[in-house]
C-alpha cells in the first residue's frame, strides 16, 4: 500500500517536472501536444523507415560489388545509368508497352473466361464434379512448361505469350470464383429465392455480387502471376518486351547493367499493377468482404 502510493506520488512529481520542462502551466490538466516527429508511427517515421532501408540496401549492394571487384555485376548507379540509356534509345517505353500489351490481352481474356466459368462451376455442382478434375490437373502445370506448346501452336508472335498469360491467370480467377460461390452465405440465396428472381437475375444480382470480393482477390493473385509469366514468355517466344530485354542484354555483350535495369523496371511495374488492383477492394460494393483493418 505505502509502496504503491509512493509510486503514485513519484509519478505526480515527474509529470510536474515534465510540465515545467515543456513550459505549460501545471494548473491546466492538458498534456503538452507532441510534435509530429514524436509520434513513432507518424508519416515522417514511416517514410524514414522505408526510404532508410532502401538506401541501406543500395549502399550494401554497391559496397558488395566494389569489394568483390566484379567486372560484370553492376552497382546501383550503373543500373540507374542503364535505365537512362534505355530510355534515351527509346527502348524502355517500347518494351514496357509491349509487355503491358500482352498482359492486358491475356489477362482480360482470363477474366472474361474465368469469372463466368467459376460462377457456373461453383453453382452447378454436377458441372463442378465433371470439370474439377481437369482443372486440378492443369492448374499445377507451370505456364513455363507450356512455352514449347505455345510456340508450336502460335509461332513466334504476340499470340504465344498472350496464350501463356491467359493460362497462368485463368486458373486463380476460376478457382477463386468457384470457392466464392460455394462458400456464399445461404441466407443471401434464400432471400434471393424468396424475391422470385429468374435464373439470370440470380446470377447477376446475387451470386456474382456476393462472390465479387473473393473474385477480386483471385484477380489480384492472377495479375501477379501474369506479370511473372510475361517475362519468362518474352525470353523465349518473342523479340520485344522486358523479358526479351533481359535475355538480349545478356546475350549481346553481357550488359548486366541493362539486365538488372530490366529487373528493376519489372519490379516497379509489378508493384504498380498490384496497387492498382488493390484500389478495387476499396469500393463499397466489395469492401464488406474484407476484414476491417
> Which residues are near other proteins by CB under 8 A?
185, 187-188, 190-191, 193-196, 205-206, 209-210, 212, 284-289
35/185 with CB nearer other proteins: 185
CB of 193 to other proteins, least distance (A): 5
For cell 517475362, what's the residue?
231
Between CA 83 and CA 88, with CA 84 as vertex, the angle to 5 degrees is: 120
23/292 with CB nearer other proteins: 292
CB of 173 to other proteins, least distance (A): 19
8/209 with CB nearer other proteins: 209
Q: Are the CB atoms for 163 and 153 separated by under 8 Å? A: yes
Cβ neighbours, 10 Å, residue 101:
16
Distance CA 142, CA 132 (A): 18
CB of 121 to other proteins, least distance (A): 21
For cell 480467377, what's the residue?
173
27/187 with CB nearer other proteins: 187
Q: Are the CB atoms for 102 and 168 separated by under 8 Å? A: no
Q: At what angle do helices 147-154 and 208-236 cross, to 10 degrees?
A: 80
Q: Are the CB atoms for 169 and 115 separated by under 8 Å? A: no
CB of 226 to other proteins, least distance (A): 26
40/196 with CB nearer other proteins: 196
CB of 234 to other proteins, least distance (A): 38
Amino acid at each position: 500500500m505505502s509502496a504503491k502510493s509512493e509510486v503514485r506520488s513519484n509519478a505526480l512529481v515527474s509529470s510536474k517536472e515534465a510540465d515545467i520542462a515543456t513550459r505549460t502551466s501545471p494548473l491546466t490538466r492538458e498534456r503538452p501536444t507532441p510534435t509530429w516527429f514524436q509520434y513513432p508511427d507518424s508519416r515522417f517515421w514511416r517514410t524514414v523507415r522505408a526510404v532508410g532501408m532502401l538506401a541501406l540496401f543500395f549502399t550494401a549492394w554497391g559496397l558488395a560489388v566494389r569489394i568483390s571487384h566484379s567486372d560484370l555485376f553492376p552497382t546501383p548507379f550503373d543500373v540507374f545509368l542503364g535505365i537512362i540509356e534505355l530510355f534515351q534509345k527509346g527502348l524502355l517505353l517500347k518494351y514496357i508497352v509491349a509487355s503491358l500489351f500482352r498482359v492486358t490481352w491475356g489477362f482480360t481474356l482470363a477474366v472474361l473466361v474465368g469469372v463466368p466459368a467459376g460462377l457456373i462451376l461453383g453453382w452447378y455442382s454436377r458441372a463442378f464434379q465433371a470439370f474439377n478434375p481437369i482443372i486440378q490437373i492443369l492448374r499445377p502445370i507451370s505456364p513455363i512448361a507450356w512455352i514449347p506448346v505455345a510456340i508450336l501452336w502460335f509461332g513466334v508472335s504476340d499470340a504465344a505469350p498472350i496464350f501463356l498469360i491467359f493460362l497462368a491467370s485463368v486458373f486463380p480467377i476460376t478457382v477463386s470464383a468457384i470457392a466464392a460461390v460455394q462458400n456464399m452465405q445461404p441466407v443471401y440465396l434464400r432471400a434471393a429465392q424468396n424475391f422470385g428472381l429468374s435464373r439470370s437475375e440470380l446470377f447477376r444480382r446475387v451470386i456474382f455480387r456476393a462472390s465479387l470480393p473473393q473474385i477480386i482477390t483471385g484477380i489480384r493473385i492472377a495479375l501477379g502471376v501474369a506479370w511473372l509469366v510475361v517475362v519468362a514468355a518474352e525470353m523465349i517466344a518473342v523479340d520485344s518486351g522486358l523479358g526479351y530485354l533481359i535475355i538480349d542484354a545478356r546475350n549481346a555483350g553481357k550488359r548486366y547493367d541493362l539486365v538488372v535495369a530490366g529487373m528493376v523496371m519489372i519490379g516497379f511495374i509489378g508493384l504498380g499493377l498490384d496497387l492498382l488492383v488493390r484500389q478495387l477492394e476499396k469500393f463499397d460494393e466489395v469492401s464488406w468482404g474484407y476484414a476491417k483493418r
